[in-house]
Amino acid sequence: MLLGILAFFVFYFSFTTLVFSVRVLESDTMQPNLRAGERFVFSSYVIYTLIPGFDLERGNLPFNRGDVVLVDTYMGEDPGLFHRVLYAAARFFTAQRVGLADPSGRRPEDYQFVRRVIGLPGDEISMTEYIVRVRVRGSTFSLTEFEVTGRDYTTHIPQKPPLWDSSLPFSGTMNAIILGDNEVFLLSDDRGSTNDSRTWGPVPVSNIRGRALFRYWPLTRLGRP
């Protein structure tokens, strides 16, 4: 019996590390499209690093503009395989409810966030009144984010208080920037005071951990996010 549980856990750990993972959205930063408490299946991009000739940083991107992705913003030292196994075990035996912190007191969910891809490497990105315009690499003109994504989603535009300074990070206005060859631009669907590429800056492609494939809970909202 114990050996069977151990074998199943090894399979679970390998599968959720290399192929798919299950995530619970813990905040409303992706309102109105995604809601806190909803559960999703994410792909894992670890598997791509094992494929000969595949390089996430050479344009082989398994996601596109408009996709919902999981981004890792932690820039410190990797806690190591031992802690990742302990963390996975805690999640496994508590039905995804509890995850162990590493010796520094941090947990993956403390620095991994769900955000939407707005710009890909080489794109020019600007923002006016919370609406992004994207000039795709090689194009002579820019379009709104909704015209270049091919995905159906809406954004929550906050009401700005009087005398709001347009230079503030969440003011909804941003001068044009050009993404580097290994950078993407991520935003929350709630364009209020939520950390994303407006405060982080462009995110390295290598920090993308996976793409949301399927929402399986609640059943009334089953389907592709």
Please report, for the chain, the start and end positions of each structural domain, with discontinuous segments joined by +. 20-78+108-219
Question: Each residue's pLDDT tens digit in the chain (225 positions)?
Answer: 666 666 655 555 555 555 677 888 988 999 999 999 999 988 876 555 555 445 555 556 788 999 999 998 875 555 554 455 555 555 555 555 555 555 555 555 677 899 999 999 999 999 988 889 999 998 999 999 999 987 889 998 887 766 666 666 667 888 999 999 889 999 999 988 788 999 899 999 888 888 999 999 899 999 888
C-alpha of 43 from chain center: 11
- In words, the CATH class of domain 20-78+108-219 is mainly beta
C-beta of residue 179 within 8 angstroms of C-beta of residue 185: yes
Enter the tokens of residue 157. Answer: 């535009």
